[in-house]
Amino acid sequence: MNRITDITKLEEKAKEIRKGVIEAVYHAKSGHPGGSLSVADILAVLYFNEMNINPENAKWEDRDRLILSKGHCSPALYSSLAEVGFLKKEELKTFRNINSNLQGHPDMNKIPGVDMTTGSLGQGLSVANGMAIAGKLDQKNYRVYVILGDGEIEEGQVWEAAMASNKFKLDNLCVIIDKNNLQIDGSTKEVMDTSPIDEKFKSFGFETITINGNSILEIMKAFAKAKTIKAKPTCIIAETKKGKGVSFMENRVEWHGKAPNEEQYIRAIKEL
pLDDT tens-digit readout, 39-63: 999 999 999 999 999 999 999 999 9
Residue 168 near residue 205 (C-beta atoms within 8 A): no
User: What is the spatial distance between Cα 152 and Cα 149, in angstroms, rounded to a whole number?
Assistant: 5
Q: Are 175 and 146 in contact (CB under 8 A)?
A: yes
Q: Which CATH number fits domain 7-271: 3.40.50.11540, 3.40.640.10, 3.40.50.720, 3.40.50.970?
A: 3.40.50.970
Can you say how many angstroms the Cα of residue 80 is from the centroid of all Cα atoms in its chain? 10
Torsion of CA 10, 11, 14, 19, to 10 degrees: -130
122 vs 192: CA distance, rounded Å: 15
pLDDT in tens, 107-145: 999 999 999 999 999 999 999 999 999 999 999 999 999
Give the pLDDT band of residue 189 (cuts 50, 70, 90). very high
pLDDT at 2 over 90: no
* 115 contacts 65 by C-beta, under 8 angstroms: yes
75-87 pLDDT, tens digit per residue, is 999 999 999 999 9
Q: pTM surpassing 0.75? A: yes
Count other C-beta atoms under 10 Å from residue 216's C-beta: 21
- Continuous H helices in the chain: 7-28, 33-38, 40-45, 74-84, 124-137, 156-167, 188-192, 197-203, 216-226, 262-271
